[in-house]
Each structure stands twice: as structure tokens, then as C-alpha cells.
Structure 1
Amino acid sequence: MDGHVVLHFRIPFATRWGQHIVVYGEGSVLGNWDISRAHRLTCQHVDDRLIWEGRLKIPVVPSISYRYALVLEDGTVEKTEREARTVAFLSQPDGVIDLLDDWQDMSHPAYALSKSAFTDVILNGKTRVVGPTCAGQSAQPGLVVLKFRVWDWGLQDGDEVVMTGSLPQLGNWQQSQPLRLTEVETPYWEAEVAVPLKAFPVTYKYAIQNQSGSFSLEVGENRITALDSDPTAKTPAVVVRNDGPFRHEKLWRGSAAALPVFCLRTKDSVGVGEFADLKKLVDLCSATGMRMIQLLPVNDTSVYMNWWDSYPYSSLSVFALHPLYLSLDGLSGALPTELNRRISAARMELERGDVDYEATLAMKLAIARAVFDHEGDETLQSEGFKNFLADNENWLKPYAVFTFLRELFGTAEHWKWGTLHKPTAKVIDRLTSPDREHFRSLEFVYYLQYHLHCQLLDVSRYAAANRVALKGDLPIGVDKRSVDTWMNPALFNMQYSTGAPPDYFDRNGQNWGFPTYNWEEMSKDGYAWWRQRLTHMAQYFHAYRIDHILGFFRIWEIPGECTTGLLGHFRPSLPLTRHELESHGIWDFDRLCDPFVTWTILEDTFGDLAQEVASKYFVEHRQGYFKFRPQFASESDIEAIQARAGSPAWLVDEVQRTRTGLLRLRQNVVLLRDSQDSSHFYPRINLQDTSSFQELEPHWKGQLQWLHDDYFYRRQEDLWRVHALKTLPVLMGATRMLVCGEDLGMIPACVQPVLAELGLIGLRIQRMPSEPNQEFGDPASYPYMVVASPSCHDTSTSRAWWEEDPDRRERFFFQALGGEGPAPERCTPGIMKTIVRQHLESPAMWAIFPLQDLLALSPKFNTRPAHEETINNPTVRKHYWRYRMHVNVEQLLSDKDFVQELQALMLDAGRCAEADLPTKLNGRSG
């Protein structure tokens, strides 16, 4: 094509002072996708909208792609559109093409349906007949070619997009004569008409028409396409109207079951839930109209090689899968009789009420090794295994070496491995050489990971085929004793630990023991470690939950010698400076930063033991004032104080009380010194609760309380927002998985706006409302872009909470459930049904239920003591994660009453359609 064409960009966007809209894209005129060379648009007010526009003359080409960005005066990019647009009709030499666009914002709920959980799984049943792009009419005198473009990811099989409006070609608003659009590429639909100049402005709406002829008009005001109001502007030959998403009256809503893999029980599992068992849970979800299964992390956690490793969030490797979830039956289709006998015997021996982590893992590894010794070489020579090894050797070989060295040195604390504590590529190559004596052990590790990969991948494909998405979990941290910290030490701050400030779960805060991230170092390669990690997850999962998403705004960083979370501070954050404190009249920093211990405080804390405690653990540095002895100066030193083995019970109790009191005194500070800058300080969280604070004179107390509140609730908001907008978009853009965030706890004001801006799905737990001054959340008032749940793995189940907190139970029964009279002492199936129905009827996109809460609907399955169904107690530092269903999934599937009750609940709430349910189980189907 010869000649040039003028592109006239027009897009409404409400900017603030100092913000600008630019356009960039392919070709030199648009900067060849270099945003620093983008074309800056100008703005004007049209009615009540701010319209940004600009004209560019380019050579005529078959098509051109572009996108808009929001930038500051200095060129700093605030945000860009989620994807590029392509104009495929540029065959008007010397003509003008008006591009009328709307900003493609990730916050729009319709974009959620573009994620793989929907396109590849839940809505994957649609038969798509994609037609050619509208070829492009030639503009005739007095006519303008008007090209409409709209998109919709949520169409059902047989649906098509049509439009009606003020033109004869649009049926003059007669719904019986709509204009049919063509699906040119999923999910875009286009139509093209020639419009007389006098017919502008054109008003119209899109509609969905199905095979039966039903016509569903979109909601909202009529859409309008008008020509440029500038009388001096040249009339365009073509107007391309990018209308954005179809405006549905009802947004898609679904439901899901949540259960960690280890909690599953089937007739086939050996001692613990296995990946293969998920297929039967998929069957249950499919049968009842639930469209997702939410899991906890499934990565290897074998750090200590004991039951402490049952904690699924302390990853030994963020890539390796846990051998605990291996199906022994799935290792081979033809095992010798003796090995089959061993598997059957293990299944019977380990069939216990809860998971015996150590016995189960040991048994599985022993039998898997026997299978490997019998026929492993055949697997190692297979094409599938060779491809797996080639695709994953960058993490698999270091992981295998790490497990070998862990056994060799008797610890996963790699900083104790001498010269091997700093591995290089050459070291890994040398230690994985086939001529090494330990190479067979490494091959066994490869073999295990290959089978785990195949088994989980098989489950993922099975789930997708049944339109049930798998939702994984992205832990906020990794263990300090992990392959990742060993291989990538620069990415982690090993001298600190990650945790959470005091909250609903624990008034002492939480200390998870994970190193904090060195975000500055991670940014240097575009956060490659995160992108690789998520790409690996996406092989198996269609969605994921970001554990403690607040950590991507700011993390609660705790000195490495601490065992609780009370003495932490936020990173990043703006600390209090010496100058700032002095300007408030505060100057005695030793008094504020050192534990404040007086004789009176010792007596109040320890009673008759005060003198003994003072002489053993403290030094009196002036009359009546004490300092900790150096050997007891940290929380970890104090936690190490134990009664000797075999001590009488009274002594064990006395030591425990002494240890608790010493910890409280160690935490009796008002300010925390920054470890890297002596002129920077952090307020100790809840400093007003300390006796150190209470002993200060009134002026200091007032000033310090104000500074405390400013640090925690005001001064950090912009810093945290900027930090989250650097990191979270990288995670979200790494894959097409649907992203949800666990945004519980101490929520900064900047969090919800950022999640909304990014289109990230939040979490609402009814007993932990995010709204201030509310004791219980109201599911009916939840926003759309959230997960609504009555409980989660970090809380008691609904039944257990009902029994353990009678005072709140009474208020919940009255306020949330509208009950009358005293609340029942037990959470009956009727009460549980009311709670489930509230969540299902919520506007929330997802209603997700721990399987224990669904079991509570049935008098047949709610027989286990409620407290035994709790998965985790966050207040216990070394909690044993071992809960396992007391019934097997096959029993649930075969119980017609249970299945049909779940079906009815989902149908009545509009969380599924009758067509989604198997006819043989759906009592409503003909």
C-alpha cells in the first residue's frame, strides 16, 4: 500500500494534575514499543469528561498495534493498559481514521474471565466459530465507515453478540432486526457499517442472542459514537469504536471446596491424601456444581525430616513437589506381587484418624525406593523422563544435591556445610556427575519428582476436562534452610525473619522464620525468580492464592534472634529519625530502646521468685533498675531456658512461667533501634500497652503515641502503594492463572484500592471483617471481586468456633443469623446451612468452603469432635498439620442426600446451572 493515513486517537481518562496519557506501539512513529518515545496526547473537556487526543501521520500498512499509558511529567510510568490493540483497517490513503477507545483497565471484573481458570477450564465448553476480521469497506462520499468492536469472555455455547441502535443497519432499535457481529478472535466481536454523516451521533447497545432466540440486552446507558466536534477537523473516512467489555446484568459467580491434599481420604490413599485422590474430589465438585478446588502449598518441606515438616508453608524448594503426596500405585502398572503386598500392608497400617507424618513419609520413601530399584532404569531411559529432566534441570539438580548434602551433614542449615555453603554451577555439575558414588541417590530424587510431576499434571488435566479449576497457594516465604536461599543468597535477607504484627490470630504477633526478600536485588533481573516460580506452578494450577498479600506492600521484618513478632517493624518503611524525635522533645534513647526493668516490675511479674530471677538473669546497673545479662539478652536466649529432663512437674511449670515473664520484660520497650542506622528508630507496636511507656511523663507519652500511630497508620501509605505496584503486576503478568490474595490482618488504607486497580480478588472471612467497627462481616454487602468464606485453614472450622467462643457465638447468632433466644450450644446442620446459604447468595465472585464446613451440613458426617477438624492453630509455633477427613470421598459421592443438598444450595443461589450438573445425580433434571 502507498500513501499515508492520519490516526486520530481519542480516549477519555480522568487524570490528576501532573499526569499525562501517551500512546505507543509498533513502528517508528509510535516509538517501536519504547514507552520513552511515546506520543504525548493533549486533553480537553467535553461535557463532564476529560478527553485525551492526538493525531499521527503514518504510512499505510495492513495493521498496526498500540496501547496507552499513564505517565508523569518526568516520564515516570504510572500504569499501562493490560494489552495492546490492533487496527486492521488502514486502507484509506490520505484519509483520517478516528480511533475511539476506552481505557482497558485490569480492575474491570470482566477481565477475570480472561484467566486460564475460566478460558481453559470453567467456560471451556463453548464451541467457537471464529470468522475473518471485517475486511473493510471503502469510504464513499458522504459516508463514514463505522467499525464496532466489543469483547466478552463469558459467553455460553450457542451465544452470539448482536447489536441494536439508531441506524437502519442496527434495526432502528427493533430487537427483531439486530445486526450480527462476527467473532474475529476470542473474545473479540466486530461489525462494520457505512453511516451517513448526518446520522451521527449513533446510539446503540449490544445484546446476547442464543440459539433459542432469546435476546439479552446489555445494561447501562446507551452507547454513543460521535464525530469530532471540532468544525475544522477533516471528516474521518473510518471510525473504529473499541467499546471494551459487554455489560452483563449478572456477573459470573461460582463456588469451590477448600482442603489441603494431605487431609484427603480415599480407599486408595496410603496414610495421607495423595495427588491421585484429588480426582475423586474433582468428581464430587463436578457432581455438586462447584467449579474449583482450593489447595494449600504442595512443595517439598523436608527441612528437619520430622513432623515439624508438616507445615506446608516452609518450603525446602519452591519447585520440588512433596514426596508425601506420591501415589505408590501410580509408579508402575505391573508391580511384582511382593511390592503390591507391601503397598497394601502400608495402606492398612497407616489408616489412622490423622496423618502420622513421619511414619507415612518413611514408608512411602522405602517402598518407592524398592520400586525404583526394581524398574527405575526403565523410567530413566524413557523419553518422557528425559524431557522432564532437560526442562527442569536448572532447579532439579540443585534440589537433588541439596537433599544429598542434608543427609551427609545431618542438617539443612547450609551455612554449616563448609566450602559447600556457597554453591556454583561448577559445583552442581561436579556433584551431579554420573561417576559420583552418590549418583544413584540423585537419580532416585529425579525419579520421585518425575512421577510426582506426572501424577499432579494428570490430575490437573482431569480437573480441567471436568470443568473444575485447581487453585494453588503461593507462600509468602521460603525456609532459611532451603535450596532457594542456598542457590540465591543475594535475594534474601537471612539476618531477618518474616512474620506478622499482633492480630486476630495472635496478640504476640507471628514469627514464621522465613528470611525477608531483598526486593532491590530481585528487581535487577525483572524478578526472574518469581516469574520462574509462577510459570512452574502454572503447569498444574489454573488459579492461585497469594499468601499474606500484604507482604507485597510491606513485610513485618523481625530481627533473627527474636522468636515472637512483637519486636518487628515494617520493610519498606519511613522510620523515625533522631532529629524528628528530638524535635518532639524526646531525647533519652537508651531509656526508650532498652528493656525497662525495675524492682517493682520484677515483683509484679515474678512474685516470690523476683529475687532469684533478678540475680540469675539480670544485672542491677543502678539502684532499683536492671539490665538483662548478655547471655539472656534476646528472645531466642530466653526461649532456650528449659527445665532439665526428668524435672518434677512443679519445676517445669515454674520454668515456663519464668520464661514467659522474661519474654514480656524483653519486649518492654518503646522504641526499636534500626540495626543498620543508629539514627533511625521504629515504634514498638502497641507501645501504649507496655509498662515502660506507662512510666513516662505525660508529654512524652502523648508525642510517642502520635508518632506510633503516624508510623503504623499514616506516613507509609504512598510508599507501600508504590512498592506493591512494582511487585504485584510482575506476579500477575507472569502467567494467565487467576490471582486471589489473602488480605487479612492489619490492612493499610492503600491495600484495597491497589487490589481493585489490579483486578486482584480479595478475601472475606465472616468472623474477621475488614470493615472497621464491625464484629462480623455481612456477606450480602461484600463486593464482587472477593472470595467469601465462613472460615479457612488458619481459623477454627465453623463448628469448632461455635463451641469454643460462646460469647461471640451468642452475638453472631443474633446479629448475623437473625436468631432469637439463646444460641444452640452446637452448630447444627440447620445453622450451618444458613451460614453456607449466606455466603452462596453473596455478590462475591467466589464462595469457597472448607470441606469440614460442608460436612457440617449433614448429620451423617458431622459426628467427629469439632475441635479435631481444625487444620492449623497460628498461636502454636510448632503446630502439627495432620488433620485428615474422617470419611472417605467415595462415601460422600455415594450419599445421594448429601450430593443433592449441595446441588440445591448451588442452584438456588445461582452459583451453577442445571445444565452443569450430571443428570444421574441431579434430582431436578428430567
Structure 2
Amino acid sequence: MARHPFFSRRRAGALAHVSSLPSSHGIGDFGPKAREFVRFLADAGFGLWQILPLNPVNPGAGNSPYSSFSAFANNPLFVSPDDLVRDGILSVGDLRGERPCGGSRIDYGHVHAWKSSLLKLAFANVLPSLESESRFDAYRRENASWLDDFALFAALKEAHGGRSWLEWPAEIRDRCSKSLELWRERLALRVLFHMFAQFLADEQWRSLLEHCRAHGVSVLGDMPIYVSLDSADVWAHPLQFELNGELRPIRVAGAPPDYFSEKGQLWGNPLYDWSAMAKDGFSWWKARIVRNSGLYNLVRIDHFRGLAGYWAVPAGARDARGGEWLSGPGHEFLEAIGEAAPELAIVAEDLGEITPDVIELRDTFALPGMRVLHFAFSGDPVENPHIPHNHDRHSVVYTGTHDNTTSKDWFERELDHASRRRIRNYVGRTVEAKTVARELCRLAMASCAAICVLPVQDLLNLGSEGRMNTPALADGNWTWRFGSGDLGQETAAEFRDLAGVFGRLP
């Protein structure tokens, strides 16, 4: 299969989730500061912006963008209050309440309350004319396949105190059509509100995408392979998942024991019924990939190895040791989503335990994999795929990902003496904690990999305070933000020069 033309030339980009952008509303959003960040990327010679999943976050799951109520919905927390004022939906006076601070950490509880109150006020302001608004009406019709179920799910969840859909009354848990219609009528205003919130989020995001296009910046989105059990997706499409007669998972997702975890990893996501999905031509997945193709220029498939083979753990197990490897949907699946969104460029997240079947699947469909410099300086330099001299052109190189700490902190706290010596020998000069981020950025830029992506934390040379996610920790993740003046013209000029030296300018 031919490689996507996006990967035919060298490019540089930055990794920063929308939540991490500056704003005076407690969390990054799709508004003025996001546009300012896009202009910084253009000034820095970066033609790519990588983000994490845009889906709504679940406070009960640590506000992780990888544990959402929906694989299709946008995150209303990213709606810009400033742009609502600009568009006449809110007034300046509406923003004078007790807003969250603009500090370096997100207080999700405060942000949820603040943004919810603003969205409710915006909804009340437009309600008299909303259903006659042609753009909103068109949006509802074009997105009905997922929006109707999501909006009803969100309204029902509110009506039942935030409880999981598995704890709802049986008639709506089991989707009795008469009961659903009664509840849809009873909650009509709240259902309409959630549709409106999605409309605002998508309108603002698409406006930001146009700003990216105008400045020569493409957006690389992220698509988790699994969905949450407590999601509109599983509630609305139970036959697409491995569930028993009580709609509980039969087996759940995880990872087998390895060097880092003797008990393996128990993720707990419900597994897909790949046989059922194949019989209907992967219709749910096709709809999902089409939705993603409208949100991003490229998409990274998280845990790509699960498409070749996945670790299935019996539901109720205390850890992942009792799981087994099962075959994934492989070629048939990638052919189906490729037909649904032929223009979408895909990156395979191929980190971790990668077996020959994963490599064969990735290479058959000509998908670039990932190389991470934090993994480059251990093991055999002849065999290690992450060390620069072993990179291949059809790949994406990072200093680190959102699951890694910053390069400075990595050097200070995670590397042993031998690994530090390897880095110094590799670059041919003294490397210290205060200089390692720049050295790795330079190595990544110099790599033969077509795409180079640098976390903003490494552009800023941050330490542990800049870590976005620690996979072993359930709480305290996903809160990092950078400040309004942190990325200036001096930084842009430095990285533009670096991109020019290594042939990565747009």
C-alpha cells in the first residue's frame, strides 16, 4: 500500500494538548490564546500541532482524555468564553463571576462548575431562536448518528445523579424504545442543551482548524483504541462489545506481565466483539474514523498493537496475569477504515511489546510508527529502534510523549550513570540536566524520520513540574499548563533556525 503523501517531506511539530494552553479561564480553550499558539508554531517553523483526544473528560476517571463518556463528542470545557463574547452569545458582564485562576495547574472541579454555568447562560440567551438557527439545525442533522445518543446519555446521566448507565432503571439501561422516547421528551431541554454545547465546541474548533490551515499548520489528533464502559458508545451499541446478558463485560482490556510490571496492567475497558463488528462491516468504527477525519488532518491510533493482537483478561480479575492473547481484526479492519476516510493520514502508536505481526500490519498499510529518544540510550545500540542511527524515514520521532516526564527531569531522576555517559558519547560533548532538552531536540530534528514532534515542555526546558501524565498514578495527571508569555519570539527564532538547519521548514 502506498504511503500517505503527508509523510513525503520532512516536517517539525510540537506536542501540547488544548487543556495546556494559556487562558484566563482555568483551562486552555479554542479561543484567542490557541490562535496565538498556532502563530507561534508558524513562527517557529513548525508545520504540525499534535494534541491529545478532544473527547469530554470524566471526573471519576481522573479527567483523563483517554477515559471519556464518548468516542465522538467534543469537550465543552474547551469552548472559549472570550469567543462567545465576541460572537454576541455572552456579554462581558457574564464573565465577571468567580472564575478559575489562570495558574499553571487546572482545577477541574472549579473549571467544570465555571464552564457549565457559562454554557447554561449561553444556552438560555440563544434558546428563543435556537431551533430556527439554520447552522444548528444542519449540525444536528449531519451528526445525528452519534449526537442524538450522546445528548440523551448526558441528560440521563445528570438525571440519575451521575451514576453509571449500568445502574439506571432497567428500561433505559436496556434501551426500551418506549421508555427512551418518554425520557427524551421529559429531558428535552437538557438534551437540546448538550447538543448546543457540542455545536459550540465543534464550531469553535473548526474555526481554529481554519486558523491552523491559514498558517500552514496541520493538526495530529489522537484516537484511543478502547472506550470506557460508562460511555454513550457502549450504552448505545452494546452488541458491538463483549458483554454478558446483564450488559457487563465478559473480558476486559489490559497488558501482560513484563519487566516493568510483574502483574501486568489491568485497564478495565470493555473489549470489542470483533466478530460482530466485522459482520456489519465495522460500521461503528467507520463512523468514528469519519468523525475524526473531520476534526484532524492526521490521527494517531493509540495502542495500535491491539489491532494485531490484544491481551484479554477475565472480568473481575484482580490483575492482568490471567489474561490471554487474542487475534485482532488486522487487515480487514484497516481496509475498512481506509475506505471510509481515504484522505486521513494515520500514525501507528507502536510502543511497548511489538511483535512481528504488529510490524507486518503497520508496514503492509504503510503507516509510520513512533521513535522516542527517552528510550534510545539503554540496551543494545545495534538493535534499539529508538536510537537515531536506527531510525527509518517513515516514522515520527519524539524526545518524549505525554506519558514520559520532561527531558530535564528524565536526565535528573530516571537515568543511571551509564545511560548519561551514552548520551554524552553520542552527542560528543558534555550534557547536563539544564542542556539535555536542547540536545535531544537537536537529535530529533536531525533524525532521518520524516516527522519530528517536540513536547512544549522540552521547548521550555521544564523539569518535573511540566509532567503531563504519570501512567502509574491515578490522580494528579492532565493538569499542566504553560503561561501566556512562556513561548516568545526568541524561542520561535531558535527553533526556526533548527528546523531550517535540518530541512524541516514548511
Structure 1 position 752, deviation (Å): 1.9
Mark the CA change 1:806 to 1:761 in structure 2 (over 3 Å): closer, same or farther: closer
Give the equivalent residue in structure 1 for 2:457: 852
Task: Quickly say closer, same or farther: Cα 1:301–1:330, change in 2 above 3 A.
Answer: same
The answer to whether structure 1 residue 385 and structure 2 residue 277 are counterparts is no
Indicate conservation of the 8 Å contact 1:743/1:762, yes or no. Answer: yes
Counterpart of 1:462, as a letter, is: H
**2:452 & 2:84 partners in 1: Cα distance?**
36
Q: Which residue matches 1:898?
A: 491
Structure with bigger helix share is 2
- Aligned residue in 2 for 1:326: 79
Contact 2:445 2:502 in 1 (8 A): yes
Q: CA deviation at 1:368?
A: 1.5
State which of 297, 318, 326 in structure 2 corresponds to 1:571. 326
Could you tell me whether the CA contact under 8 Å between 1:308 and 1:880 is conserved in 2? no
Aligned mates of 2:395, 2:313 — CA distance in 1: 30
Counterpart for residue 132 of structure 1: none
| Corresponding residue number in structure 2 for 1:509 | 264
| Structure possessing the higher radius of gyration over alpha carbons | 1
1:341 alignment counterpart: 93
How far apart are the structure 1 equivalents of 2:201 and 2:259?
37
Cα distance per residue 1:714-742 (max 9 Å; x no partner): xxxxxx6xx42122222233211110011
List per-residue Cα deviations over 1:535-584 (Å, max 9, x = no partner).
Answer: 11111210000001001011111222134333322123xxxxxxxxxxxx
One-letter amino acid matched to 2:439: T
Please tell me the residue identity of whatever aligns with 2:110: A
| Structure 2 CA distance for partners of 1:733 and 1:309, relative to 1, 3 Å | farther
Q: Please report how far the alpha carbon of residue 257 of structure 1 lies from its aligned counterpart in structure 2 after TM superposition.
A: 0.4
Change (3 A) 1:486 1:564: same
Partner of residue 426, structure 2: 816
Q: How many residues align?
A: 494
Distance 1:731 1:815 in 2: 44
Question: CA distance change for structure 1 residues 772 and 812 in 2, over 3 Å: closer, same or farther?
Answer: closer
TM-score of the aligned structures, taking structure 1 as reference length = 0.51
**1:288 to partner: Cα distance:** 1.3
Cα offset, 1:501, TM superposition:
2.4
Distance 2:272 2:377 in 1: 27
Q: 1:309 to 1:398 in 2, by over 3 A?
A: farther
Matched, 1:765 2:398: no
Contact 1:311–1:879, Cα closer than 8 Å, also in 2:
no
2-structure distance, mates of 1:456, 1:400: 19
Deviation at residue 413 of structure 1 after TM alignment: 2.1
Structure 2: runs of 5+ lacking an equivalent? 243-248
Higher relative contact order (CA 8 A, sep 6+): 2
Match of 1:836 among 441, 445, 452: 441
Q: Given the alignment, which residue of 126, 139, 147 partners 1:396?
A: 147
Instruction: Flag the structure with higher strand content.
Output: 1
The answer to whether 1:911 aligns with 2:483 is no
Residue identity opposite 2:78 in structure 1: Y
Write the letter of the residue equivalent to 1:782: H
Q: Is the 8 A contact 2:459 2:491 kept in 1?
A: no
Q: For the Cα contact (< 8 Å) 2:62–2:476, is it kept in 1? A: no
Letter in 1 for 2:93: R
Which one of the candidate residues 9, 19, 26 is aligned to 1:262? 19
Alpha carbons 1:397, 1:432 under 8 Å: kept: no
Partner in structure 2 of residue 422 of structure 1 = 174
- Which residue in 2 is equivalent to 1:798? 407
**Cα distance in structure 1, aligned partners of 2:148 and 2:357:** 41
Q: Which residue of 2 aligns with 1:644?
A: none
- Pick one of 172, 188, 196 that aligns with 1:447: 196
Q: Which residue of 2 aligns with 1:296?
A: 52
**Residue 815 and residue 426 in structure 1: after superposition, are their counterparts in 2 closer, same or farther (change >3 A)?**
farther
Distance in 2 between residues matched to 1:849 and 1:506, nearest whole Å: 28
Distance 1:756 1:564 in 2: 33
Partner of 2:338 in structure 1? 732
Go from structure 1 to structure 2 and tell me whether the alpha carbon gap of 1:430 and 1:293 turns closer, same or farther (over 3 Å shift).
Answer: same
C-alpha contact (below 8 Å) 2:228/2:269 kept by paired residues? yes
> Are 1:782 and 1:844, in contact at CA under 8 Å, matched by a contact in 2?
yes
The RMSD of aligned alpha carbons is 2.4
What is the aligned partner in structure 2 of residue 456 from structure 1? 205
Structure 1: segments with no counterpart, 5+ residues = 1-104, 119-250, 573-719, 857-861, 917-926
Deviations 1:407-452 (A, max 9, x none): 222244222222211115555444333xx3x221111111111101
Q: 1:606-652 deviations in whole A, cap 9, x for unaligned? A: xxxxxxxxxxxxxxxxxxxxxxxxxxxxxxxxxxxxxxxxxxxxxxx
Q: How far apart, in 1, do the equivalents of 2:199 and 2:331 lie?
A: 36
Within a 5 Å distance, the mapping from 1:872-891 to structure 2 comes to 872-878=469-475, 880-885=477-482, 887-888=483-484, 891=486
Using a 3 Å threshold, how does the CA distance of structure 1 residues 744 and 430 change in structure 2: closer, same or farther?
same
1:73-123: CA deviations, max 9, x gaps? xxxxxxxxxxxxxxxxxxxxxxxxxxxxxxxx32xxxx321x6xx8xxxxx
| Separation in 1, partners of 2:334, 2:438 | 37
Q: 1:321/1:727 Cα in 2 relative to 1: closer, same or farther (>3 Å)?
A: same
- Distance, in Å, in 2 between the alignment partners of 1:507 and 1:901 is 44
Q: CA deviation at 1:806?
A: 4.1
Distance of 1:341 and 1:506 partners within structure 2:
53
- Tell me how far 1:386 sits from its aligned partner: 0.5
Matched letter for residue 846 of structure 1: I
Structure 1 residue 323 displacement after superposition = 1.4
CA–CA separation in structure 1 for the residues paired with 2:13 and 2:306: 26
Task: Tell me, in whole angstroms, the C-alpha distance in 2 between the residues paired with 1:877 and 1:309.
Answer: 6
C-alpha distance 792-812 of structure 1, shift in aligned 2 (>3 A): farther
Work out whether residues 787 and 846 of structure 1, in 8 Å CA contact, stay in contact via their aligned partners in 2: yes
Q: Distance in 1 between matches of 2:352 and 2:361?
A: 16
Say which SS state the counterpart of residue 269 (structure 2) adopts.
Answer: coil
Q: Report the equivalent of 2:36.
A: 280
3-state SS of paired residue (1:538): helix
Q: Is contact 2:385-2:391 (8 Å) kept?
A: no
Q: 1:308 aligns with which of 54, 57, 61?
A: 61
Letter in structure 2 aligned against 1:548 = H
Match status 1:431 vs 2:41: no
- Give the conservation status (yes or no) of the 8 Å contact 1:293–1:468: yes
Contact 1:547/1:741 (8 A) holds in 2: yes
